[in-house]
């Protein structure tokens, strides 16, 4: 857990916030305390989602669905305000690390622990599916390890299986690569069997310490899930049989959660938990975590803290009321609103931010979400304010996926210099010799910003949106940047260097940007741009990435 930053709220509804537990594509999660002393986890959605009525409708529906889930192995929803200026939801807080943290820190879990883990999660899914719901995002980070057993959390993207009111755009996959089922990836419809596949991948990760479908990019992960068998390492015996049955490609061939639960714990998961299920180091860690929470209550939340890194500051200082009009303990400080609203009705209030002095408020590069009708450069010349129409269209389509933070990511200043923002920038300053034709030929037909959908493996695998910006360059100079935003919102930037150009073909070398995340391909490859009518055909010789191709249309 991290201390609250100066631009983060201290009160949400009736809850006093003590620290930040994490953040994701949908919002930030805080540790909170009610007036009666109950500890809760409070999720506040990203402000740009709050402005979108389609997202609000979805959030409202998901909260109602999550309130129906109350099994022994899930974290219950205790409170929520979908109608607040910035919607939030509070769930019971459980002291204990996520499965991701536990395995990352200490390696694979003992077989007995994995058996209990599988039995508890299977019972949780059985209860969820019995309500006509599908979780859709069962993964290690959504599993908590507590002394009282495993907990399945974050039903933020669960949805009813009866097909009503699905507000996600056609063709958008929701889930996490490596843990999504093949039918999720292929968009063939999702049933409870998809959660069973994800459960099998989670158990394989817990038992071996590695993903069953490893890969160095999202495209590779998605391809392996659909077409290849899992890598289960030294996993053997009954646990291997259970995992293999869960990871069958055909949904009809997988066991039901109830069948899994009976196989792993004939007398119920609770009986196995009662005899002790976590290894000693984890028991010590969970106990220490509980003590830390108690110490937070004893010392209070008003300790000094610096700004905690996040995708973008959410608000600008102003005076208003709290979330949903509530105040609560410590609710008298300055509040915040979204950026200038030239075309929107009264600016909504947002959670009360921590006090920030004039220097902090005036810090260069501090960017807010703008609701302006068009995209314009930021005041410092580095950041940009995104069109509200664009941001909200994306937010509605990919509400619960990490892509929300990806689009905010483009607003940040100083990300590898102005060239690293080629996916958003549409103007380029020219050097004194830029008006001269490059020695290798004219670039006139290629200069500009182009966008289209990319595919790999000869068009069989969708790999997201490609956005290419080309500027004038000499042979051997930087030509521009290609930004790929994959199906779940991860972003990779490739820097292009001009090799040769004619009226019929442009050839460039492509190399991953230095500040890419670990899932991007860092290798140097060759790409070709070929004019086709008013469009460009993009092709890469990267076999590791499945030889990506795209038809790009000029947008700037």
Residues annotated as catalytic (active site), given as ranges: 137
Those residues with Cβ within 8 angstroms of residue 263's Cβ, 6 or more apart along the chain or in another chain: 238, 242, 255
What tokens appear for 548 in the block? 């990506």
Question: Which of 86, 172, 189, 188 has the alpha carbon at shortest distance from 398?
Answer: 172
Integer Cα distance of 354 and 306 in angstroms:
11
Q: CA-to-CA distance for 15 and 41, rounded, in angstroms?
A: 10
Residues in binding site: 43
CA atoms within 13 A on the CB side of 220: 14
Dihedral sign of CA atoms 512, 515, 517, 518 in order: positive
Which candidate, 162, 235, 252, places its Cα nearest to that of 201? 235
Rg (CA), the chain: 25
Q: Which two tokens stand for residue 156?
A: 């933020």
Say whether 404 sits in a helix, a strand or coil: helix
Residues comprising the binding site for ATP?
43
Cα distance between residue 458 and residue 470, in whole Å: 25
Coil/strand/helix, residue 53: helix
- Alpha carbons 202 and 190: distance in angstroms, whole number: 18
Q: Distance of CA 130 to CAs 65, 123, 125, Å? A: 12, 11, 8
Measured CA distances, 185 to 182, 200, 219, 394, 544 (Å): 5, 16, 11, 19, 19
């Amino acid at each position: 857990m991290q201390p609250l930053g100066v631009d983060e709220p201290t009160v949400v509804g009736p809850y006093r916030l003590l620290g930040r537990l994490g953040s994701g594509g949908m919002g930030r999660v805080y540790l909170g305390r009610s007036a009666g002393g109950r500890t809760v986890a409070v999720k506040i959605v990203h402000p740009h989602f709050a402005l979108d009525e389609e997202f609000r409708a979805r959030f409202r529906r998901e909260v109602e669905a999550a309130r129906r889930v109350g099994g022994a192995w899930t974290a219950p929803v205790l409170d929520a305000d979908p109608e607040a200026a910035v919607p939030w939801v509070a769930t019971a807080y459980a002291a204990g690390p996520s499965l991701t943290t536990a395995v990352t820190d200490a390696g694979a879990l003992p077989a007995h622990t994995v058996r209990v883990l599988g039995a508890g999660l299977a019972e949780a899914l059985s209860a969820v599916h019995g309500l006509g719901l599908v979780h859709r995002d069962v993964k290690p980070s959504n599993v908590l390890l507590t002394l009282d057993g495993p907990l399945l959390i974050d039903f933020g993207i669960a949805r009813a299986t009866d097909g009503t009111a699905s507000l996600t755009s056609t063709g958008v996959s929701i889930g996490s690569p490596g843990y999504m089922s093949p039918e999720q990836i292929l968009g063939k419809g999702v049933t409870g069997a998809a959660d069973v596949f994800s459960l099998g991948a989670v158990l394989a990760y817990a038992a071996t310490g590695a993903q069953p479908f490893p890969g160095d990019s999202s495209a590779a992960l998605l391809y392996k899930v659909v077409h290849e068998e899992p890598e289960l390492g030294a996993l053997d015996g009954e646990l291997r049989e259970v995992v293999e049955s869960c990871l069958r490609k055909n949904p009809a061939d997988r066991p039901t959660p109830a069948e899994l639960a009976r196989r792993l714990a004939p007398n119920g998961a609770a009986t196995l938990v009662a005899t002790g299920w976590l290894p000693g180091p984890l028991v010590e860690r969970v106990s220490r975590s509980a003590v830390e929470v108690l110490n937070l209550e004893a010392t209070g939340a008003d300790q000094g803290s610096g700004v905690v890194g996040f995708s973008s500051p959410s608000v600008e200082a102003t005076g208003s009321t709290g979330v949903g009009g509530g105040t609560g303990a410590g609710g008298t400080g300055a509040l915040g609103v979204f950026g200038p609203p030239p075309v929107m009705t009264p600016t909504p209030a947002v959670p009360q931010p921590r006090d920030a002095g004039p220097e902090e408020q005036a810090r260069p590069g501090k960017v807010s979400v703008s609701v302006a009708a068009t995209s314009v450069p930021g005041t410092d010349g580095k950041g940009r304010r995104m069109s509200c129409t664009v941001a909200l269209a994306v937010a509605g389509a990919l509400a619960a996926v990490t892509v929300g933070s990806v689009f905010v990511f483009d607003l940040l200043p100083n990300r590898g210099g102005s060239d690293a923002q080629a996916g958003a920038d549409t103007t380029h300053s020219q050097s004194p010799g830029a008006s001269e034709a490059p020695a290798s030929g004219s670039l006139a037909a290629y200069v500009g910003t182009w966008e289209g959908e990319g595919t790999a493996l000869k068009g069989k695998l969708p790999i997201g949106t490609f956005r290419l910006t080309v500027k004038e360059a000499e042979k051997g100079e930087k030509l521009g940047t290609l930004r790929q935003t994959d199906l779940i919102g991860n972003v990779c930037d490739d820097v292009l260097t001009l090799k040769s150009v004619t009226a019929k073909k442009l050839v460039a070398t492509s190399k991953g940007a230095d500040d890419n995340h670990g899932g991007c391909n860092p290798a140097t490859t060759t790409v070709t741009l070929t004019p086709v009518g008013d469009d460009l055909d993009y092709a890469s010789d990267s076999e590791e990435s499945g030889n990506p191709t795209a038809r790009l249309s000029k947008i700037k």
